[in-house]
Structure 1
Protein backbone atom coordinates (compact mmCIF):
# COMPACT_ATOMS: atom_id res chain seq x y z
CA UNK A 1 0.00 0.00 0.00
CA UNK A 2 1.09 3.60 -0.50
CA UNK A 3 1.70 6.39 1.96
CA UNK A 4 -0.44 6.90 5.04
CA UNK A 5 -3.98 7.83 4.07
CA UNK A 6 -4.52 11.58 4.05
CA UNK A 7 -0.86 12.36 4.71
CA UNK A 8 1.19 13.73 1.83
CA UNK A 9 4.78 12.84 2.50
CA UNK A 10 5.87 14.82 -0.55
CA UNK A 11 4.79 18.02 1.24
CA UNK A 12 3.15 19.78 -1.73
CA UNK A 13 2.33 22.86 0.33
CA UNK A 14 5.97 23.46 1.28
CA UNK A 15 8.74 25.01 -0.82
CA UNK A 16 11.28 23.00 1.16
CA UNK A 17 10.87 19.25 1.34
CA UNK A 18 11.82 17.98 4.76
CA UNK A 19 13.43 14.69 5.68
CA UNK A 20 11.80 11.49 4.53
CA UNK A 21 12.10 7.91 5.67
CA UNK A 22 14.86 5.91 3.96
CA UNK A 23 12.35 3.20 2.99
CA UNK A 24 11.61 4.89 -0.37
CA UNK A 25 13.74 6.32 -3.18
CA UNK A 26 13.42 10.08 -3.03
CA UNK A 27 13.30 12.25 -6.16
CA UNK A 28 12.89 15.99 -6.58
CA UNK A 29 13.42 18.07 -9.70
CA UNK A 30 12.47 21.64 -10.49
CA UNK A 31 12.11 22.84 -14.10
CA UNK A 32 11.28 26.21 -15.61
CA UNK A 33 7.95 26.27 -17.45
CA UNK A 34 8.12 29.83 -18.78
CA UNK A 35 7.40 33.40 -17.79
CA UNK A 36 4.40 35.65 -17.41
CA UNK A 37 0.84 35.64 -16.14
CA UNK A 38 -0.53 33.70 -19.12
CA UNK A 39 1.98 30.88 -18.53
CA UNK A 40 1.09 30.84 -14.82
CA UNK A 41 -2.64 30.63 -15.55
CA UNK A 42 -2.23 27.88 -18.16
CA UNK A 43 0.19 25.79 -16.08
CA UNK A 44 -1.86 26.16 -12.88
CA UNK A 45 -5.07 25.13 -14.59
CA UNK A 46 -3.39 22.23 -16.36
CA UNK A 47 -1.68 20.74 -13.31
CA UNK A 48 -4.93 20.82 -11.33
CA UNK A 49 -6.72 18.92 -14.12
CA UNK A 50 -4.19 16.09 -14.51
CA UNK A 51 -2.45 17.82 -17.44
CA UNK A 52 1.04 16.66 -16.48
CA UNK A 53 -0.15 13.06 -16.62
CA UNK A 54 -2.28 13.31 -19.78
CA UNK A 55 0.37 15.25 -21.71
CA UNK A 56 2.87 12.56 -20.73
CA UNK A 57 0.87 9.74 -22.30
CA UNK A 58 -1.38 8.66 -19.44
CA UNK A 59 -5.13 8.23 -19.76
CA UNK A 60 -7.03 9.78 -16.86
CA UNK A 61 -10.70 8.75 -16.61
CA UNK A 62 -11.83 11.95 -14.89
CA UNK A 63 -10.78 15.35 -16.21
CA UNK A 64 -12.37 17.15 -13.28
CA UNK A 65 -10.11 19.18 -11.03
CA UNK A 66 -8.06 17.08 -8.62
CA UNK A 67 -9.50 16.83 -5.13
CA UNK A 68 -8.30 15.18 -1.94
CA UNK A 69 -9.74 11.69 -1.60
CA UNK A 70 -10.25 11.28 -5.36
CA UNK A 71 -9.45 7.69 -6.46
CA UNK A 72 -8.69 6.93 -10.07
CA UNK A 73 -7.23 4.21 -12.25
CA UNK A 74 -4.70 5.90 -14.49
CA UNK A 75 -3.65 3.98 -17.60
CA UNK A 76 -0.43 3.96 -19.60
CA UNK A 77 -0.07 2.12 -22.90
CA UNK A 78 3.21 0.48 -23.86
CA UNK A 79 2.59 -1.01 -27.30
CA UNK A 80 -0.25 -3.50 -26.91
CA UNK A 81 0.06 -3.57 -23.10
CA UNK A 82 -2.00 -1.25 -20.91
CA UNK A 83 -0.60 -0.66 -17.43
CA UNK A 84 -3.17 0.16 -14.74
CA UNK A 85 -2.11 2.59 -12.01
CA UNK A 86 -4.63 2.94 -9.16
CA UNK A 87 -4.03 6.13 -7.15
CA UNK A 88 -5.62 8.33 -4.50
CA UNK A 89 -5.10 12.09 -4.24
CA UNK A 90 -3.83 12.81 -0.71
CA UNK A 91 -3.20 16.56 -0.86
CA UNK A 92 -4.08 19.58 -2.98
CA UNK A 93 -2.58 23.06 -2.61
CA UNK A 94 -4.00 26.26 -4.14
CA UNK A 95 -2.43 29.57 -3.20
CA UNK A 96 -1.61 32.72 -5.16
CA UNK A 97 1.87 31.43 -6.02
CA UNK A 98 1.66 27.63 -5.54
CA UNK A 99 -0.73 25.02 -6.93
CA UNK A 100 -0.43 21.29 -7.14
CA UNK A 101 -1.28 17.93 -5.70
CA UNK A 102 0.10 14.64 -4.48
CA UNK A 103 -1.24 11.15 -4.92
CA UNK A 104 -0.35 7.88 -3.29
CA UNK A 105 -0.30 4.58 -5.08
CA UNK A 106 -2.87 1.94 -4.24
CA UNK A 107 -2.53 -1.86 -4.34
CA UNK A 108 -2.01 -3.05 -7.91
CA UNK A 109 0.11 -0.03 -8.90
CA UNK A 110 3.50 -0.91 -10.44
CA UNK A 111 5.34 0.87 -7.58
CA UNK A 112 4.58 1.76 -3.98
CA UNK A 113 4.82 5.38 -2.94
CA UNK A 114 3.72 8.90 -3.68
CA UNK A 115 4.12 11.45 -6.45
CA UNK A 116 3.57 15.22 -6.45
CA UNK A 117 3.26 17.87 -9.17
CA UNK A 118 3.57 21.49 -8.04
CA UNK A 119 3.58 24.70 -10.07
CA UNK A 120 5.01 27.83 -8.45
CA UNK A 121 5.88 31.31 -9.52
CA UNK A 122 8.72 33.47 -8.34
CA UNK A 123 8.49 36.94 -9.79
CA UNK A 124 7.69 36.42 -13.47
CA UNK A 125 9.12 32.88 -13.70
CA UNK A 126 6.86 29.81 -13.51
CA UNK A 127 8.36 26.56 -12.22
CA UNK A 128 7.19 22.97 -11.96
CA UNK A 129 8.51 20.75 -9.19
CA UNK A 130 8.22 16.97 -9.30
CA UNK A 131 8.58 15.03 -6.08
CA UNK A 132 8.27 11.30 -5.57
CA UNK A 133 8.91 8.57 -3.09
CA UNK A 134 9.02 5.06 -4.59
CA UNK A 135 9.89 1.50 -3.69
CA UNK A 136 8.94 -1.90 -5.12
CA UNK A 137 5.23 -2.63 -5.26
CA UNK A 138 3.64 -5.03 -2.82
CA UNK A 139 2.09 -6.75 -5.87
CA UNK A 140 4.42 -9.68 -6.56
CA UNK A 141 4.56 -9.43 -10.35
CA UNK A 142 5.44 -5.75 -10.26
CA UNK A 143 7.98 -6.20 -7.48
CA UNK A 144 9.97 -8.59 -9.70
CA UNK A 145 10.37 -5.99 -12.47
CA UNK A 146 11.15 -3.00 -10.23
CA UNK A 147 14.63 -2.48 -11.77
CA UNK A 148 12.98 -2.08 -15.20
CA UNK A 149 10.38 0.26 -13.73
CA UNK A 150 13.13 2.48 -12.36
CA UNK A 151 14.47 2.85 -15.91
CA UNK A 152 10.95 3.64 -17.16
CA UNK A 153 10.65 6.32 -14.46
CA UNK A 154 13.54 8.22 -16.07
CA UNK A 155 11.60 8.47 -19.34
CA UNK A 156 8.29 9.30 -17.68
CA UNK A 157 9.85 12.02 -15.52
CA UNK A 158 11.41 13.57 -18.62
CA UNK A 159 7.92 13.65 -20.16
CA UNK A 160 6.51 15.21 -16.98
CA UNK A 161 9.11 17.99 -17.07
CA UNK A 162 8.14 18.84 -20.66
CA UNK A 163 4.37 18.52 -20.19
CA UNK A 164 3.63 22.12 -19.19
CA UNK A 165 6.01 23.90 -21.56
Structure 2
Protein backbone atom coordinates (compact mmCIF):
# COMPACT_ATOMS: atom_id res chain seq x y z
CA UNK A 1 0.00 0.00 0.00
CA UNK A 2 1.27 3.47 -0.91
CA UNK A 3 0.18 7.01 -0.04
CA UNK A 4 -0.74 7.60 -3.67
CA UNK A 5 -3.27 4.73 -3.38
CA UNK A 6 -5.20 6.77 -0.78
CA UNK A 7 -5.87 9.92 -2.82
CA UNK A 8 -9.59 10.39 -3.39
CA UNK A 9 -10.72 7.58 -1.08
CA UNK A 10 -13.74 8.45 1.09
CA UNK A 11 -13.71 8.31 4.86
CA UNK A 12 -15.31 5.13 6.23
CA UNK A 13 -17.55 6.88 8.78
CA UNK A 14 -19.99 9.79 8.88
CA UNK A 15 -19.28 11.32 12.30
CA UNK A 16 -16.36 13.50 11.16
CA UNK A 17 -15.01 15.76 13.89
CA UNK A 18 -16.71 14.04 16.81
CA UNK A 19 -13.40 13.54 18.64
CA UNK A 20 -13.16 17.32 19.02
CA UNK A 21 -14.86 17.01 22.38
CA UNK A 22 -16.31 13.52 22.79
CA UNK A 23 -18.66 15.04 25.32
CA UNK A 24 -22.10 13.67 26.10
CA UNK A 25 -23.61 14.83 22.81
CA UNK A 26 -20.76 13.40 20.75
CA UNK A 27 -20.81 10.03 22.53
CA UNK A 28 -24.50 9.85 21.64
CA UNK A 29 -23.62 10.85 18.10
CA UNK A 30 -21.07 8.04 17.93
CA UNK A 31 -23.26 5.35 19.47
CA UNK A 32 -22.20 1.87 18.42
CA UNK A 33 -18.49 2.71 18.59
CA UNK A 34 -15.91 1.94 21.26
CA UNK A 35 -14.77 5.21 22.90
CA UNK A 36 -11.34 6.12 24.24
CA UNK A 37 -10.41 9.31 26.01
CA UNK A 38 -7.15 9.47 27.96
CA UNK A 39 -4.72 12.12 29.12
CA UNK A 40 -1.46 12.12 31.04
CA UNK A 41 0.62 14.91 32.53
CA UNK A 42 3.92 15.05 30.64
CA UNK A 43 5.59 18.09 32.16
CA UNK A 44 5.20 21.76 32.92
CA UNK A 45 5.82 25.14 31.42
CA UNK A 46 5.15 26.87 28.12
CA UNK A 47 8.41 25.57 26.59
CA UNK A 48 7.38 21.98 27.34
CA UNK A 49 4.00 22.63 25.71
CA UNK A 50 5.55 24.13 22.58
CA UNK A 51 8.02 21.26 22.22
CA UNK A 52 5.32 18.63 22.73
CA UNK A 53 2.95 20.42 20.33
CA UNK A 54 5.62 20.43 17.63
CA UNK A 55 6.18 16.69 18.15
CA UNK A 56 2.45 15.93 18.00
CA UNK A 57 1.99 17.86 14.76
CA UNK A 58 4.91 15.92 13.21
CA UNK A 59 3.24 12.56 14.08
CA UNK A 60 5.52 12.10 17.11
CA UNK A 61 2.90 10.32 19.21
CA UNK A 62 2.46 7.73 16.47
CA UNK A 63 6.16 7.26 15.81
CA UNK A 64 6.94 7.14 19.53
CA UNK A 65 4.40 4.33 19.92
CA UNK A 66 6.20 2.25 17.33
CA UNK A 67 3.95 3.05 14.38
CA UNK A 68 5.81 3.51 11.10
CA UNK A 69 4.35 6.64 9.53
CA UNK A 70 4.25 7.90 5.98
CA UNK A 71 2.44 11.20 5.53
CA UNK A 72 1.79 13.46 2.57
CA UNK A 73 2.85 16.52 4.63
CA UNK A 74 5.62 16.92 7.21
CA UNK A 75 3.24 18.69 9.59
CA UNK A 76 -0.36 17.54 10.00
CA UNK A 77 -2.90 19.67 8.12
CA UNK A 78 -6.45 19.10 6.97
CA UNK A 79 -6.43 16.65 4.08
CA UNK A 80 -3.02 15.12 4.86
CA UNK A 81 -2.92 11.45 3.95
CA UNK A 82 -1.36 9.26 6.63
CA UNK A 83 -0.35 5.64 6.20
CA UNK A 84 0.58 4.00 9.46
CA UNK A 85 1.94 0.52 9.89
CA UNK A 86 2.16 -1.49 13.08
CA UNK A 87 3.64 -4.89 12.34
CA UNK A 88 1.77 -6.34 9.36
CA UNK A 89 -1.25 -4.04 9.79
CA UNK A 90 -1.69 -1.01 7.51
CA UNK A 91 -3.75 1.93 8.76
CA UNK A 92 -4.73 4.37 5.99
CA UNK A 93 -6.16 7.66 7.29
CA UNK A 94 -6.78 11.31 6.38
CA UNK A 95 -6.41 14.30 8.72
CA UNK A 96 -9.92 15.72 9.22
CA UNK A 97 -9.21 18.66 11.53
CA UNK A 98 -6.38 20.51 13.23
CA UNK A 99 -6.49 22.39 16.54
CA UNK A 100 -4.13 25.34 16.81
CA UNK A 101 -5.18 27.22 19.94
CA UNK A 102 -2.98 29.09 22.43
CA UNK A 103 -3.24 26.28 25.01
CA UNK A 104 -4.21 23.26 22.92
CA UNK A 105 -2.77 21.78 19.72
CA UNK A 106 -3.27 18.60 17.81
CA UNK A 107 -5.01 16.87 14.96
CA UNK A 108 -7.49 14.11 14.28
CA UNK A 109 -7.51 11.65 11.48
CA UNK A 110 -10.25 9.46 10.15
CA UNK A 111 -10.09 6.00 8.69
CA UNK A 112 -10.04 5.24 4.97
CA UNK A 113 -10.92 2.01 3.15
CA UNK A 114 -8.36 -0.69 3.94
CA UNK A 115 -8.15 0.22 7.65
CA UNK A 116 -9.02 -2.60 10.08
CA UNK A 117 -11.20 -0.19 12.09
CA UNK A 118 -13.60 2.57 11.19
CA UNK A 119 -13.62 5.80 13.17
CA UNK A 120 -11.51 8.75 14.21
CA UNK A 121 -8.59 9.45 16.54
CA UNK A 122 -7.35 12.73 18.01
CA UNK A 123 -3.75 13.31 19.13
CA UNK A 124 -3.05 16.46 21.10
CA UNK A 125 -1.37 18.37 23.84
CA UNK A 126 -2.92 20.81 26.30
CA UNK A 127 -1.40 23.50 28.52
CA UNK A 128 -3.06 24.53 31.79
CA UNK A 129 -1.89 28.11 32.51
CA UNK A 130 -3.10 27.99 36.14
CA UNK A 131 -0.86 25.06 37.11
CA UNK A 132 1.53 25.32 34.13
CA UNK A 133 0.96 21.59 33.60
CA UNK A 134 1.20 20.05 30.13
CA UNK A 135 -0.97 17.07 29.20
CA UNK A 136 -0.84 14.65 26.28
CA UNK A 137 -4.35 13.72 25.10
CA UNK A 138 -5.82 11.00 22.92
CA UNK A 139 -9.50 10.53 22.15
CA UNK A 140 -11.05 8.15 19.68
CA UNK A 141 -14.12 6.28 18.59
CA UNK A 142 -13.85 3.13 16.54
CA UNK A 143 -15.35 -0.22 15.66
CA UNK A 144 -14.08 -3.21 13.66
CA UNK A 145 -14.20 -2.80 9.89
CA UNK A 146 -12.89 -6.13 8.58
CA UNK A 147 -13.87 -9.75 9.16
CA UNK A 148 -10.60 -10.41 10.94
CA UNK A 149 -10.82 -7.34 13.18
CA UNK A 150 -14.38 -8.38 14.10
CA UNK A 151 -13.25 -11.95 14.85
CA UNK A 152 -10.30 -10.66 16.87
CA UNK A 153 -12.12 -7.77 18.56
CA UNK A 154 -10.98 -8.64 22.12
CA UNK A 155 -7.35 -8.81 20.99
CA UNK A 156 -7.75 -5.63 18.91
CA UNK A 157 -9.16 -3.81 21.95
CA UNK A 158 -6.17 -4.89 24.04
CA UNK A 159 -3.72 -3.78 21.34
CA UNK A 160 -5.53 -0.43 21.08
CA UNK A 161 -5.18 0.14 24.84
CA UNK A 162 -1.47 -0.71 24.74
CA UNK A 163 -0.79 1.53 21.74
CA UNK A 164 -2.84 4.40 23.23
CA UNK A 165 -0.72 4.26 26.39
CA UNK A 166 2.39 4.31 24.20
CA UNK A 167 1.05 7.44 22.44
CA UNK A 168 0.90 9.23 25.81
CA UNK A 169 4.40 8.10 26.83
CA UNK A 170 5.85 9.12 23.45
CA UNK A 171 5.92 12.78 24.46
8 Å CA contact retained: 1:3, 1:9: no
Q: Which residue of 2 aligns with 1:95?
A: 101
Secondary structure of 1:85's counterpart equals strand
Q: Which residue of 2 aligns with 1:59?
A: 68
Matches within 5 A, 1:14-29: 14=21, 17-19=23-25, 20=27, 21-29=30-38
Structure with greater helix share of residues: 2
8 Å CA contact retained: 1:87, 1:105: yes
Could you list the per-position Cα deviations for residues 15-40 of structure 1 after superposition, in whole angstroms to 9, with x for gaps in the alignment? Answer: x7342232101111111110012211
For residues 107 and 32 of structure 1, the distance between their equivalents in structure 2, rounded to whole angstroms, comes to 34
Secondary structure of 1:150's counterpart equals helix
| Alignment gaps of 5+ in structure 2 | 1-10
Normalising by structure 2, what TM-score? 0.84
For residues 55 and 69 of structure 1, the distance between their equivalents in structure 2, rounded to whole angstroms, comes to 23
Moved runs in structure 1, 4+ residues, more than 6 A?
Answer: none
| Comparing 90-99 and 141-150, the one that deviates more | 141-150
| Alignment gaps of 5+ in structure 1 | none
Secondary structure of 1:69's counterpart equals coil
Normalising by structure 1, what TM-score? 0.87
Q: Is 1:146 equivalent to 2:153 in the alignment?
A: yes
Secondary structure of 1:60's counterpart equals strand
Aligned residues: 155
For residues 48 and 69 of structure 1, the distance between their equivalents in structure 2, rounded to whole angstroms, comes to 14
8 Å CA contact retained: 2:85, 2:91: yes
Matches within 5 A, 1:9-158: 9-11=18-20, 14=21, 17-19=23-25, 20=27, 21-62=30-71, 64-77=74-87, 82-123=88-129, 124-137=132-145, 139-158=146-165
RMSD, matched Cα: 1.7
For residues 12 and 97 of structure 2, the distance between their equivalents in structure 1, rounded to whole angstroms, comes to 14
Q: Which residue of 2 aligns with 1:162?
A: 169
8 Å CA contact retained: 1:3, 1:113: yes
